Amino acid sequence: MVTDFGHLSKARCLAEEAQRIVWEQKGRIIRLRAASRDTWDAERILRLLEANLQTFREYTLECDHLIAAE
């Protein structure tokens, strides 16, 4: 039985922060392209940030399913 939801709340906050960072990174890539700059590193970082975001989302979904099953 899951009785402490603090970890779930923290994961949701982290997911929101990760989403914000992903949006910011996408903006950086757009600005770099507009300035005819290399975006390889920025795009690599974006892929890593998106992977982390997906991990947070999967974790919160898994927790939601566990809570619903109680």
Cα separation values, 8 from 20, 41, 58, Å: 19, 32, 11
pLDDT digits (tens, 9 = 90+) for 7-65: 778 878 888 898 999 999 999 999 999 999 999 999 999 999 999 899 888 888 888 88
Predicted confidence band of residue 1 (pLDDT cuts 50, 70, 90): very low
Domain boundaries, the chain: 9-69
Helix and strand totals (H; E) in the chain:
2, 0
Q: What is the secondary structure of 18-40 as a DSSP string? A: HHHHHHHHHHHHHHHHHTT---H
